[in-house]
Amino acid sequence: MKRNIVIADHSELILNGLRSILHPLVGESIVTFSKFAPLKEYLKVTKNILLIIDYTSKGFSLNKVVELKNKYPKMLVMALTPYTNAQTIVQAVEAGIESHIKKECSVQEIKDAFTATSGGTKFFCNDIVAQMRKENINPKNISFKSLDPNPVSLSDRELQIIRFIAEGYTNSQIAAIVYLSNHTVNTHRKNIMKKLGVNNTAGIVMYAVKEQMVTPNQFSFKKSNLV
């Protein structure tokens, strides 16, 4: 079955670079999108898609991947992102991403990932496999979950606190910044975790990354973050 190849990334450099890398494999049949809205419209009228996407790129997110995958379950998705931690990769696979590689991978590894994904085989670059092994996770054992794409209802204060948590601030530090008591901040934290369906700080951080409220490079992860 011939696949329609679609690349989604905010960066024109990445779009053009991937087009050049994949051209010897698929010729001119590559469509690129730097914004989510036109991508969404294209998918409405096109079948047999292999989507290569950086879900951390501006304008895209894992929630948007969930939305597309729920609507087009037969679509194959290959993620190509900058540094991403193991738990985010787990969430990505659960969101419907078949393969996951890093942007710093070699050209050959990108081609190998594309070939494998096109054939319906999961592919994870060596860096990601090593990363997952350190946390005793086998990415090939993770399966797609039909997740609810509807956004979580969070107040402006809760969103503000999520950003501070993701940047490594403690409850007491957040309380001092936003002029609240430690108890009130802790209550907000508990309510946030309940709404997000997570049970630790890492889950809040993952949500912040997924929603592009922060980027992995912003994390200070001070020792105080564990408090």
DSSP H helices, 46-123, are 62-71, 86-94, 107-118
Among 145, 6, 130, 160, which residue's Cα sits nearest to residue 66? Answer: 145
Phi/psi region, residue 48 (left: phi>0; alpha: psi -120 to 50; beta: rest), is: left
pLDDT in the model for residue 220: 43
pLDDT of residue 140: 61
Sheet with 4-8, side-by-side order of all strands: 30-33, 4-8, 49-53, 76-81, 99-102
What pLDDT does residue 92 have? 83
Q: What is the mean pLDDT of the chain?
A: 84
Dihedral over Cα of 126, 78, 67, 140: its sign: negative
Q: Which two tokens stand for residue 202?
A: 């890492």
Q: Which pairing describes strands 49-53 and 99-102: parallel, antiparallel, or unpaired?
A: unpaired
List domains and CATH numbers for the chain: 4-141 (3.40.50.2300), 156-226 (1.10.10.10)
Beta bridge partners of 102: 81
Going from the C-alpha of 22 to that of each of 29, 39, 46, 107, 180, the distances in angstroms are: 10, 19, 20, 9, 53
Which regions in the chain score pLDDT beneath 50? 146-150, 218-227
Element housing 80 (H / E): strand 76-81
Q: What six digits make up the tokens of 81? A: 């992102």
* pTM attached to this predicted model: 0.64
